Structure 1
Amino acid sequence: APPAPRPVRVLASGERKRYDLKVGFPAAAVEEADEASPEYWPALVGEVADHVRANRSTLVFGNSRRLVEKLTRSLNDAAGGELVYSHHGSLAREIRQVVEERLKAGALRGIVATSSLELGIDVGALDEVVLVQTPHSLASAAQRIGRAGHTVGGVARARFVPLFARDLLDAAVVAEAVAAGEIEPLRPIAGALDVLAQVVVSATASETWGVDELFALLRQAYPYRNLPRRHFDLVLEMLAGRYSSGRVRELDPVVSIDRVAGTVRGRPGAARRVYASGGTIPDRGYFRLRLTDTRALIGELDEEFVWERAVGDSFCFGVRTYRIVQVTDSDVLVRPANGPAGLAPFWRADERDRPFERAEKVARFLEEVEPHLGDPDFPERLAADGRLTPGAAKALQRVLIGQRDATGTLPHRHRVVVEHVADPQQPGPAGQVVIHTFWGGKVNRPFALALQAAWGERHGGELSVVHDDDCLILSLPGEVAAGELLGLVRPESLEELLRARLAATGFWGARFR
């Protein structure tokens, strides 16, 4: 019989977190609300630098490692010295620890970080958090903002600095939601088979297990309480080499099943496989960045960035400039360099799809404000609660009016806007079709895949679709009515269409590397 559940009590203080939130917009771009203006980036950097200088300790968040590196370099160039240091997962752990300790000790005014400093790491008391680009989710925004004023009864002070004009809309909505204490609901993943495979290999690497006994044990874990026996057996068969081929090394057998005795045990090398590749983050083929003289590890570089570089090229990393001395099959050897910093590295990381709940709040906001965009006092009403600066409110009005004038109306919760755009590379009546959904990437991505599968079934051939959190862009071979296009995917056929399409996508391949 399974063991009796342990007694559990939920502890909740009931105290509501207090926030001091402000959404700004670089003054140089307010009149045009245009991030393409050459004054926009310097104005943004200047605004962030003002916040860092005004505080004893500031944590600046960006949504990507490339943005963090670029912003760090620009802030230090503007300050004429080391004002901030970057912090992200591709910096060596030892360097990250030094940066954290320097901020905690007061030797550094600020850190520019990705989500690497979103959770848990102690960097001491923070005066303020600056968000350069709105976080992907409400939970992430609340977590980042909560790093400031992180005491009982403390006030979390944060400033949103939109990275581009469209980001201003997100900042306004997310600031309001965080102030109201709203986050997305948690949806724990149940029965994850990739994790199950790792657990099975871990359990059998050092001892033999009865198959039935192992299945019973796994069902005692909450995520696998409803694990079907068929799924468990299929994972075992995969680990035993049922799908092995010379093309996909990861499918080589890693366990052996004794079907007579009903047991399973890890093959030689199983433990090494667990230690070397445990976890759910896909292998991205990163190159190690090392100093050529000492081989000291500095961090990691994306393989595509490395392929585009040559010996002698320089780039900035952390707060220093390095020149490439040698590139091996796994390492990039560099020396510190003087002179211009060159470009910031990029990393082709996984896209972080916006949750539907956050996207829905933006769509609700658009539905509420569209009838009032032309009101003379609209900016004042936007800024009435004190979260948007007057300049940000005026810029947001310009952004929304510009979009409405371009498409005739705004998309929102109850309206999808289908826009035809002439494609200069494909002259003719078809062109490109933009479906403005505002559903978020967690909905737009599977919808795009299902749409491609449905198109192939009905019309044959391949439909080119790209998507982001706000829209889908389709390159059509001919004219198609909007109603027919949107009607290709029905709720009852969604799962079948996804199954038909998913295995042939790069999205799948990148995770089964």
Structure 2
Amino acid sequence: MEEAIRVAEREYTKEEVLKILNPLVAEWFASKFRDLTPPQRYALIPIHNGENVLVSSPTGTGKTLTAFLIALSELFNMAEKGELDNTVYVLYVSPLRALNNDIYRNLEEPLREIREIAQKRGKEIPEIRHVVRTGDTPSSQRQNMLRKTPHILITTPETLAIILVAPKFREKLRTVKWVIVDEIHSLAESKRGAHLSLSLERLRELTGRDFIRIGLSATINPLDEIAKFLVGYNEDGSPRPCLIVDARYSKRKSIHVVSPVSDLIYTPAQEVTSKMYETLYDIVKKHRTTLIFTNTRSGSERVVFHLKMLAKKKGDIPEDSIATHHSSLSRGVRMDVEEKLKKGELKAIVSSTSLELGIDIGYIDVVVQVGSPKSVTRCLQRVGRSGHRLHETSKGIMVCVDRDDLVEVAVMIREAYRHHLDKVHIPRNPLDVLAQHIVGMAIERKMNAEDAFKIVRRSYSFHDLSWEDFENTLKFLSGSYGELEEYKVYGKIWYDPFEKVFGRRGKYARVIYTLNIGTIPDEVSVKVLTLDKKYVGNIEEEFLERLVPGDRFVLGGKVYEFVKSDGMTAYVKPAFDQKPTIPAWFSEMLPLSYDLAIRIGEFREKMFQWISSGKPREEIKRYLTRECKVNSAGAEAIVSYFEEEYLVLKSLGSKKFPSHRVILTEKYRDEAGRIHHVFHTLYGRRTNDALSHALAYLASRKANSNIGLAIHDNGFALIYPPGINIDVSLRDIRPEELEDYLKKSIFNTELMKRRFRHVATRGLMILRNYKGHEISVEKQQLNASTLLRVIKKWEDFPILKETYREILEDYMDIQHAREVLEKIHKGEIEIVDVGLLDTPTPFAYNIVLEGLSDIVLMEDKRALIARFHEELMKKIRKMSLKASTT
């Protein structure tokens, strides 16, 4: 860890903290809290001493008060001396409006109670004002903030970027002394974080001095990277100092894995499903309030439906005490659910991801996860929502009905207890975000480009930005690509490349900037029509993004085949008698993290070593129960799963077994005559996305035909049409060729079209709103398709370059894919091929069936797995019979 970034080692006592506080604040604090929480013991005095601090600790450990207490104390000092101006001193930024409203309410109490103490002591103190300002704030309230400026401003990253160019209000920010960034882990992972980091550097320019930065985060890793993201860099390129308060493990946890049945192969699908809902219902019944996470929105609706059916049947839980909460519900419905939760009126709440972040939802005594949360960090963040107080234990139960999920979660929990967390991925140098901020800077004043470049490079997200990319973005924004004007892309700024100076162009620049700022794309539903223009229904844009012609999916209970898209319309043809190849929740699935995937690969290696060396089954099961917290049914299912894979591969004469160091490949011909070429690359879906697209590109060139793809966290399959059987290997791709193959493979896809629109909109190339007129997403998409055709000849065009970067680095994981290829070429990863099989090996079931896992076909999926299994067992029995007679 660099010198500037250090971990807090000194703890302070309550007495030491009370001494430095304003006497009124000290009296209030002493009367409210018996002792300091871990974050408070380490962080309060350093904040008082003017240090930047990153606090990472679970929910319910007093993080928020840690962040505000010193600022409140100093504001009361100023108020007593009559030194409070009509300006902002504390800036609090969070990603959620709901969290902002919580913080507003949470501050009301101390502010009121401290003033009451003052009145009792006969002191009249001016009011310390705090206000929430977001996109929802009416203009009358915004006007009022100029007259009565909040001393504590609570806002979002987007609103901060807007007020930085608001001519009058911007002046009120010159006095900012403390900036608190809440839920920083959630911001850092997306472009909203890059956006905020540039706003903070522009604020630093405005104040003319450093302010104290306080970051608050749940469980995250690595903390030194998040600290650098929070504080940025000095002009000389060194990181600004930051103190890390690591209290991630300050709460006890109890996490267990439950499989409702021990045989996940032969137990009929209906029985497994009903046992799962019985298990969930049983947990809900035994606890006061249960928070259940599913990985998809449709999954959460399904769980609520079944729990309510059981409640109706059994009559021991009121039906209306079970509710769902996810991002597709209206704001009103979500707020109503949150309110009921806080009041303790709900027994169970089912959510996809929307309750992961720190909004105050009252008391939860157990968190249940259906399926795998896909990363150790996410697992701990979710489980951390239970046992809200510091001395309480966070309790989590993972319910799995799939063998791959079971193995994944078992390893995940072992790693959670070992404190091994996945690394966060922070987007680097997003040029669309840069474009927005260059326009923002131009609106502030005429600027020297080299000075602006220095400001931008102080941000962690843009620290290694090249001058060439910076200047190309200036040129694009100033209309240097003349032929784009006929497509209504006009310069937003002017730039003089000789003097290296830029400024705003036109009187509408500020309006365009204010109405088009932000990084969250307009998501909209896509209309689905048959080729003869009959309306079928709607799908989400994210779902369309992953479709390729020939994919089949269910809509309104019927199967359709995707043909093409035009703007925001998808064209399909009926395929009623065929099976879907894409599940309905396909676009919502969380990807398995690379770090956890590697640990599962290592676990595979260990299991196969144990089995081949004859380690007793009971001993292996005891290990799983003790180290991985798996129930006995789950331990039985895991051991059987590995034994089957072992026996099958042994019967095929293989001496090697799939792990992080061995990539097994196999082929399987299905009933339709298609060959599934399966690659057991257990590296997580983002890495597999990159490896598979590059290999599919090579295969389609070799076969002179379109090649299908099934991508899974544990591997991928190339699907060759009937009559085609080719041999391609990951050895055929050199690490340095990967990027080129990927760019070629994605250029004509839906993914490229959509992402280009998002990037072009963020980069202000396509406007969402012009002079107050909303531009429909459909029109934006048509404009984007036209522009993409025009600019594809300019390799270095910032918006095209950023689209590729976003797809290859943020959506896929080209870095780890390249690493895998390097290890293959160095011989550190071995590729073992077991040839064409009439039945896939057990570890390949889910990869082959990736295309057949729609909800309506859950039964078919299980039936098919049972059939594969039956055939395999026959083969193994035959082999062992042969072995015993020879």
Compute the displacement of 1:63 (Å). 0.8
Could you tell me whether the CA contact under 8 Å between 1:197 and 1:235 is conserved in 2?
yes
Matched residue, 1:42? 274
CA distance in 1, matches of 2:469, 2:345: 54
Shift of 1:510: 2.7
Residue by residue over 1:424-465, the C-alpha shift from the partner in whole angstroms, topping out at 9 and shown as x without a partner, is 3336xxx22111111111211111122234446666554433
Task: Return the match for 2:739 from 495, 500, 504.
Answer: 495
Could you tell me which of 161, 164, 168 is aligned with 2:406? Answer: 168
Q: Secondary structure at the match of 2:732?
A: coil
Decide which of 45, 58, 67 is 2:299's aligned counterpart: 67
Distance 1:83 1:266, change over 3 A: farther
| Residue identity in the other structure for 2:673 | Q
State the alpha-carbon separation in 1 of the partners of residues 400 and 515 from structure 2: 39
* Separation (CA, whole Å) in 2 of partners of 1:206 and 1:269: 14
The 3 A distance-change label for structure 1 pair 486 and 132 is same
Q: Which amino acid aligns with 2:418?
A: A
- Is 1:397 aligned with 2:631? no
How far did 1:135 drift?
0.6
The CA deviation at 1:355 is: 1.9
Shift of 1:116: 1.2
**Whole-angstrom distance in 1 between the partners of 2:333 and 2:279:** 27
Correspondence 1:417 to 2:664: yes
1:55 maps to what in 2? 287
Q: Deviations over 1:6-61 (max 9, x none)?
A: 5432223485542211111113xx23445762111111111111111211111111
1:104-503 equivalences under 5 Å are 104-204=342-442, 208-240=446-478, 252-253=489-490, 255-259=492-496, 262-265=501-504, 274=513, 278-286=517-525, 302=540, 349=587, 351-373=589-611, 375-377=616-618, 378-385=620-627, 387-405=629-647, 410-426=657-673, 431-455=675-699, 461-476=705-720, 478-481=724-727, 484-503=728-747
* SS at structure 2 position matched to 1:82: helix
In the alignment, is the contact (CA less than 8 A) between 2:543 and 2:587 conserved in 1?
no
Q: Which amino acid aligns with 2:263?
A: E
Q: Which moved more, 1:499-508 or 1:386-395?
A: 499-508
Q: Deviations over 1:314-363 (max 9, x none)?
A: xxxxxxxxxxxxxxx99xxxxxxxxxxxxxx9666455332211111111
One-letter identity of the residue aligned with 2:300: V
Deviates more, 1:300-309 or 1:146-155: 300-309
One-letter amino acid matched to 1:376: R
Matched letter for residue 408 of structure 2: D
* Contact 1:34 1:165 survives alignment (8 Å): no
1:84-132 CA-partner distances (Å, limit 9, x unpaired): 2111111222322221121121111121112211121111222111011
Residue aligning to 1:325: none
Residues 379 and 274 of structure 1, relative CA distance in 2, 3 Å threshold: farther
1:76, 1:83 within 8 Å by CA — same for their partners in 2?
no
Of all paired residues, the percent bearing the same amino acid is: 26
**Maintained 8 Å contact 1:90/1:301:** no
**C-alpha contact 1:33 1:398 (8 A) present in aligned 2:** no
- Deviation, structure 1 residue 474: 1.0
Asked if the contact 2:554/2:584 (under 8 Å) is kept, the reply is no
Structure holding more helix per residue = 2
Q: Distance in 1 between matches of 2:426 and 2:543?
A: 35
* Contact kept in structure 2, 1:432 and 1:474, CA below 8 Å: yes
Deviations 1:281-338 (A, max 9, x none): 44331389xxxxxxxxxxx98369999878xx9xxxxxxxxxxxxxxx99xxxxxxxx
SS in 2 for 1:426: coil
> Does 2:264 align with 1:12?
no
Aligned counterparts of 2:511 and 2:268: Cα–Cα separation in 1? 50
Q: CA deviation at 1:412?
A: 0.8
CA distance in 1, matches of 2:715, 2:247: 41
Alpha-carbon contact 1:126-1:148 (below 8 Å) kept: yes
Q: What amino acid maps onto 1:18 in structure 2? A: R
Cα 1:50/1:350, change in 2 over 3 Å: closer
Q: Which amino acid in the other structure matches residue 74 of structure 1?
A: H
Distance 2:258 2:599 in 1: 20
Partners of 2:376 and 2:323 in 1: CA distance: 26
Q: In structure 1, how many angstroms separate the alpha carbons of the residues matched to 2:693 and 2:539?
A: 30
Q: Return closer, same or farther for 1:353/1:254 CA change in 2, 3 Å cut-off.
A: farther
Amino acid at match of 1:60: I
* Amino acid across the alignment from 2:293: F
Q: Secondary structure of 1:509's match?
A: helix
User: What residue in structure 1 maps to residue 208 of structure 2?
Assistant: none
How much is the aligned-residue C-alpha RMSD, in angstroms?
3.7
SS of match in other structure, 2:671: coil
| Counterpart Cα distance in 1 of 2:392 and 2:643 | 39
- In structure 2, relative to structure 1, the CA distance for the partners of 1:416 and 1:346 (3 Å cut) is closer
Amino acid at match of 2:742: L
Say whether the 8 Å CA contact 2:414–2:627 is kept in structure 1. no
Q: 1:34 to 1:18 in 2, by over 3 A?
A: farther
Q: Whole-Å Cα distance in 2 between the matches of residues 105 and 491 of structure 1?
A: 56
Tell me if the contact between 1:282 and 1:512 (Cα under 8 Å) persists in the aligned partners. Answer: no
Larger deviation: 112-121 or 257-266?
257-266
Greater RCO between the two (CA within 8 Å, min separation 6)? Answer: 1
Q: Secondary structure of 1:383's partner?
A: helix
Q: Give the equivalent residue in structure 2 for 1:333.
A: none
Separation (CA, whole Å) in 1 of partners of 2:409 and 2:377? 14
Stretches of structure 1 lacking an aligned partner (at least 5 in a row): 289-299, 314-328, 331-344
> Which is higher, the Rg of structure 1 or of structure 2?
2
| Residue among 330, 348, 369 paired with 1:92 | 330
Q: Contact (CA 8 Å) 2:709, 2:717: kept in 1 or not?
A: yes
CA gap 1:380/1:305 in 2 versus in 1, 3 angstroms: closer
Is the partner of 1:51 in helix, strand or coil? Answer: helix
Query: Which amino acid in structure 2 is aligned with residue 252 of structure 1?
Result: V
What secondary structure sits across from 2:390 in the alignment?
Answer: coil
| CA distance in structure 2 between the partners assigned to 1:391 and 1:309 by the alignment | 36
CA distance in 2, matches of 1:308, 1:435: 27
> For the residues of structure 2 that align with 1:347 and 1:268, how far apart are their CA atoms?
46
**How many residues of Structure 1 are paired with residues of Structure 2 in the alignment?**
463
**SS of corresponding position for 2:385:** coil
Q: Secondary structure at the match of 1:117?
A: coil
Q: If the length of structure 2 is used for normalisation, what is the TM-score?
A: 0.47
Please give the secondary structure, in 2, of the residue aligned with 1:450: helix
